Structures are given as C-alpha cells and as structure tokens.
A and B are shown apart, each in its own frame.
Chain A
Amino acid sequence: MSTTLALARREITGLFYSPIGYIVLAIYLLFVGLLFSLLVLQPGAIADPGPMFQWNHLILIFVVPFMTMSLFSEEYRSGRIETLRTSPITDFQLLMGKFLGAMGFYCVVIASSLIFILILSLFGRPDYMTVLTSYLGLLLMGMLMVSIGLFFSACTQHQILAAMSSCVTLVALGILFQAISYFLGSALGVSWAWLRTLRHVLRYLAIEPHMVNFSRGILDSQNIVFFLTGAGLFLFLTYVVLESRKWR
C-alpha cells in the first residue's frame, strides 16, 4: 500500500511541477466559469448549480486526456519504465499508483470549481446536498475518464497519440453517442426494433444521461454502476496491456 501511495504522490507532484498541470487547471476553471456565468448566475434565477455539473463533462473530456497522457507514455519514452519495473513492485501496484495519482490531481481540478459554489452562496442558498451528489458524480465520472486516459497512455510511448486517442474516445462517450441517439430518435421517425435498441445502447453509453441525475441530487445505482464498471473495464484493459508489454 505504501508503495502505491509513493507512486501516486509522485504523479500528483509531477503534474504540479510541470506546466501541463497548471494549464489544465486554468482551462478547466475558465470554461466552468463560462458555464457558471451563462447557465447559473442569472438575475432572478434560482440558486441551482445543476447545469454547471450536468455539462461539466464537455470540458473534462478535453482536459482529462492532457492530465493522463504522460502517465505511462513518458515512462516508456524516457526509459524510466525500466527502473520502475525492476523495482520490487507488482504491475497492479504500478497501475493503482498511477491511477490514484491521476485521480488525486483530478480531485484538485474539480475542487477548484468550489469557488463558483462559494460565489453562488453569496447571492442565494444553493442546496448543498445536491452540490455534494454532483461532486460525487464528477468523482465517479472522473474514474471512468482517467482510466480511459490511463489505458491509451499505456498503449503508446507517444504522449500526443495517447492524448488524441483518449480524447476521441471521450468525445464519443461525451458527445457523439448522445447526438447519434438523439438524431436516430427524432429525425428519422421510423420505428424499427433494432434501431430502437441501438438508440438505447448508445444512450446508455453516453455520459450526460448518467451525470444529469447526480446534478439533480438523485443517486441512481444504474449511474453509479455505469461509471464504476466502465472504470473497472479500462483499468483491467490497462493491466492486460502492461502485462503484455513484457512479452514483446
């Protein structure tokens, strides 16, 4: 456990030492600020930060890949993977260390948006329990996003390639699937059974429908299971990739 934490701590400090960490933080704050001022902080509106959380993933799908791109890629490229893998740590500890490290930084990033809750509380009284469930939703969503980023980082020694692949995957989950399912539902107007099934599958795989409940203060096991199984799947795949690299 302590080795895992040592690895995680190094990842977090590594991100704070590099400009990437601060750029990620700044961009996130800028766009959450936009969401906040356009959707939440309106004259006469109720003090509900919900929309800010409901659409938060639209920012994070472009931000998280830059947090995770270097996790393994940079170790491969620099050759440090050799010092890591010849240390007495298991692949699982290595994986968990990297994952927890990135999650730690992710938590710092999403916690920075607390400033907007503070601003809101100056003008009204938001429902703090809803804020809490929203952050829980962001945390679970982060686990999925970070594990996807981790997976692509483990696949290649090129950071940019890792960032782009995870970005494409996250855009599919965050925007594309939902758009296609919306298009299939309204524009076509036909009702073939397989089309309806496809629509449902795509809608289930999309992020936004799962986030919306959290942002309204609803804890639905379906949403929690979605994020956890997704994260578990990609962590498992990353583990497989790590194991397989040994044999090449």
Chain B
Amino acid sequence: MAFRRHLPIMLFGCAAAVLPLALKDPYYLGILVFIGIFSIATMGLNLLMGYAGQISLGHAAFYALGAYATGILTAKYNVHFLPALAAAIIVTAGIAYVIGMACLRLKGHYLAVATLAAGEIVFICLNASVGFTGGPSGLAGIPSIEIGGFSFDSDFKFYYLVWAVFILLFILTANIINSRTGRALRCLHSSEVAAAAMGINVTTLKVQIFVLSAVYAALAGVLYGHSVTFISPQASDLMFSVKLLTMIVVGGMGHLWGGVLGAALLTLLPEALSAFHDYELIIYGSILLVIVMFLPGGLMRGFETLYVTILKKVRGRG
C-alpha cells in the first residue's frame, strides 16, 4: 500500500537521477536546480494554501530569512554548514511561530494582509540593517555547502543535493497528507467550525502547518543562497511571494505534483521568452488572473478532468 502510494515519486526520482547524465549543457542543469529549489518552496506553501486553505502573502520572507541565516553564519562567522542550517531552521521556525500565532487567528482577507505586512516588515528590516545583512546591495560570497568534508561545489553535485532534498520532503509531505493530520487539514479547509466540532484544535493545527511550510521555504532559501552564492533583500519582496503563489495556482492548489509542475513551467517560461523581463509583471498577473478565473483547480486538475472526459467518451463509444 505504502509502496504503491510512493511509486510515482520513486519513478520520478529514478528519472531525476539519470537526467543529468543525458544533459551535456550546464545551463540546463542550472535551470533544473532552480526548479528543484522552487518546488521545495511551493510544496510547503501548497500544504498551507491548498490543503489547509490558509493564504500567505509573506512566504518570501521565510525564504530570504533562511538564505540570510546560513549565508551570514557561513560567510561571516565561518560556522560549518550543518550547525548553520540548524540555526537557520530554528530562527525561521521561531519567527514563523510568532507571526503564525499572531496572524492565524485571522481569516481570509485579514490573514492575507497580515502575512503581507509581516513579510514587508522583514523586507524593510533586511534592507535597513546594513551592517548585518549588507543592506540593499545584498550579501555576497556565500560559500558552497560542505557536509562532512564533501563540498557541493559544482552544479552537477548541487543538482543531486537539491533533488534528493526534494524527494525526501515530498515523501514526508505525502505521508502528512495521508495521515490523520492531513485529513484534519482538509477538514479545516472546508469548514473551520465543522473541524472544531470534530475535536480538531484549529488554531494549533494552523500554526503547526504554517511553521512547517515556513521551514520548507527556509530550506529552499538556504539551497538558493548557497547555489548562487549571493542573496539580496529582493528575495523577500512581495513579488517573490506572488511568484510562489502563481506557481501553485498554475499547477493546482491542493495537488502535490501541481506545485512541481507550476514551478517548472514558471521557471522555464522566462528562459523561453527572451523579451520576458519587460513583460514579467504583466505575464505573471495575467497568468494568475486567467487561471483563477477559468481553471481554479489549476493545470493538474484540468488534466484530470480532461482525462476523465476522454475516458468516458472512449468507453461510451465502445
């Protein structure tokens, strides 16, 4: 049973393992690394938005906090990577806990604005504390990740690290979704009152899932910071939160593979369109608007519906 449930991700893992051997161009390898990083971040946000039904417009803040935490510790204080990673996770989880305790008592619109404001405050602080974070010009010279003497210093090695982390987190997330907690989350999504009546501690559950999704974002941020060796406050701005949101909406809210699909599409899109940069905002806005208005389930659900309709037609004829 458990084996069948994890079959797709295992096949996906095998494919991911052989893919770099077929790719000669390091350029594509770099793109695949970014897709992996964004997939990790969207997975957490999807858990929060798609399954628990809570919106967050401040997730870029956690992404940036993770990147800054390990970046500052390893680049400025020569701390080893693993302790720095632990510190980054603890710091981000702590901040997310405080923000979550505060914001998640709110619902709908209020929650969206509160998380947006919290994210904006992090952005302002990262910009203003120049001595610590390097201010608007960013933090440069982040070393590559080193674990037990092994250094992930090439795109090739980094690729395997990112996708290994992704697959581990995917299995973890899939297990959460199929557990008692996952059912409680979906119940929360449909009705908070009903969830509370069934004996679910609504606030605790919301805060827990918020912190977990913030940690996912922080992990993605850590990987990002060490792969490009540079991080600037830009990574924590509203636009990046919106990008993560767009990836999930495009792929499919409440569909684990949807986040991956969205991350892949929206990372490949700018590479495919050379004039993308000037139209970036309009394209993101339009995609978001069109998908939400005409295909609220995202592409994954769209494919599923299409598949079912075709299946019915074929059977009906036969």
B and A form one assembly: no
